Amino acid sequence: MKKDYLVKALACNGEIRAYAVRTTNTVSEAQQRHDTWVNASAALGRSITAGVMMGVMLKGEQKLTIKIEGDGPLGPILVDSNAKGEVRGYVTNPHVQLPQNTVGKIDVAGAVGRNGFLSVVKDVGMKDHFTGQVPIVSGELGEDFTYYFVASEQIPSAVGVGVLVNPDHTILAAGGFIIQVMPGASDETITMIEENMKKIPAVSTMIEKGLTPEEILYQLFGQDKVQILDTLDVSFCCECSRERIETVLIGLGKEELGLMIEEDEKADVECHFCNETYHFTKEELEQLLDK
Ligand code: ZN
């Protein structure tokens, strides 16, 4: 299987900043880890795809968390990403499968909900956080991320994210792009992009047809107008570990840990983000109690 990667680029003489990514494997891993059904796969996959591109807009050790809280059956969706192309995420109710929407597509808005909030918390280091929150405007997520950039970051943008799901729930294709208009961009450039966006196929279709992230940008701007700046591997990656879970258990305090040993004689701790379960025997818990 072709590896997932992302490109950062400039287009139209620097008037446009652009990102494009293939996330088929990354979304597949999320689908398998969380056993998501069709609508959950599409919603989580779109969020992961937008999230990984937003992550690489950060620098160094910075990271961000996206929370989408709609009033649909999926419940909250959470995605974490960083500047290294690592992303993880989950949806509260993974077993959501609804009939197709009126245009014969996966009903993402129906699953996410058309009311609620999309928030982004950026951890930029030194205990500094930036939070931006916007109302959900469509629930299809691409438009919601577009609205986030415009309303919260004041950057005119276009976000395209898409996931194709096979009948057996596996992921056929996933990917996306983010286009950002730089100050001083000409009306001509903006009109050209708007026209191109109407003509190009859905981003998930382009990925399915085998287009690379570079080629998606060529479709949007014309090959001669794209200057690729950087290429980065992307993957589903969770920072949880047995050591971290041990720290959390120790952090519960002697009393609570003691109660756990007495009543349950074991502990199974699940990481929400990657669905990994960490099992601790009574003896292991007693060793933690001694620390
Ligand atoms: Zn984890």
Q: How far apart, in whole angstroms, are the C-alpha atoms of residue 43 and residue 280?
A: 33
State the distance from the centre of ligand 1 to the C-alpha of 275, rounded, in angstroms: 6
| High-pLDDT (> 70) share of the chain, % | 100
pLDDT at 39: 97
User: Distance from the CA of 100 to the center of ligand 1, in angstroms?
Assistant: 32
Q: How far is the CA of 45 from the centre of ligand 1 (A)?
A: 17
Q: Distance from the CA of 279 to the center of ligand 1, in angstroms?
A: 14
In the reported structure, the alpha carbon of residue 79 is separated from the centroid of ligand 1 by a whole-number distance in angstroms of 12
Between CA 5 and CA 19 the distance in angstroms is: 11
Is residue 251 classed as helix, strand or coil in its secondary structure? helix
Closest CA relative to residue 189, chosen from 158, 214, 212: 158
CA of 78 to the centre of ligand 1 (A): 13
Helices (H), the chain: 24-34, 38-55, 108-112, 142-152, 187-199, 203-208, 213-221, 242-251, 254-263, 282-290
Pick from 123, 134, 136: nearest CA to 58:
123
User: DSSP of 43-85, one letter per residue?
Assistant: HHHHHHHHHHHHHTTS-TT-EEEEEEEESSTT--EEEEEETTS
pLDDT tens track for 137-193? 999 999 999 999 999 999 999 999 999 999 899 999 999 999 999 999 999 999 999
Instruction: Indicate whether 26 pLDDT > 90.
Output: yes
**All structural domains of the chain with their residue ranges:** 5-236, 242-290
Mean pLDDT of all residues in 270-276: 94
Query: Residue 153 in contact with residue 146, Cβ under 8 Å?
Result: no
Residue type, 168: D
The alpha carbon of 28 and the centre of ligand 1 are apart by a number of angstroms equal to 16
- In the sheet that holds 171-181, the strands lie side by side as 157-165, 171-181, 16-22, 5-11, 226-233
Ligand 1: distance of its center to the CA of 240 in Å? Answer: 4
Look at residues 32, 20, 21, 25 and name the one whose alpha carbon lies nearest to residue 2.
Answer: 25
The CA 114 to ligand 1 mean position distance, Å, reads: 29
Determine the distance separating the centroid of ligand 1 and the alpha carbon of 89, expressed in angstroms: 9
Query: Residues with Cβ within 5 Å of ion ligand 1?
Result: 238, 240, 271, 273-274, 276
Query: What is the spatial distance between Cα 125 and Cα 59, in angstroms, rounded to a whole number?
Result: 10
Give one DSSP letter per residue of 18-50, joined into a string: EEEEE-HHHHHHHHHHHT--HHHHHHHHHHHHH
**How many Å lie between the centroid of ligand 1 and the Cα of residue 251?**
18
Taken in order 154, 218, 20, 28, the sign of the CA dihedral is positive
Ligand 1 mean position to 35 CA, how many Å? 15
pLDDT at 13 over 90: yes
Q: Binning pLDDT at 50, 70 and 90, where does residue 217 land? A: very high
Q: CATH code for 5-236? A: 3.55.30.10
Q: Other C-beta atoms within 10 Å of 130: how many?
A: 13
Mean of per-residue pLDDT scores for the chain: 95
Distance 244 CA to ligand 1 centre (A): 10
pLDDT for residue 291: 78
CA separation, residue 110 to residues 133, 140, 214, 291 (Å):
21, 8, 32, 49
Q: CA nearest 200: which of 176, 172, 224, 166? A: 176
pLDDT at 189: 94
Contacts of 63 (CB under 8 A, 6+ apart): 55, 80, 81, 82, 83, 122, 123
| Residue 36 alpha carbon to ligand 1 centre in Å | 16
The 8-class DSSP code of residue 239 comes to: -
Domain range 242-290, its CATH number among 2.60.260.20, 3.40.50.2020, 3.90.1280.10, 3.40.50.720: 3.90.1280.10
Span from the CA of 245 to the centroid of ligand 1 (angstroms): 10
> For the ranges 109-113, 131-135, 244-248, which has the lowest average pLDDT?
244-248
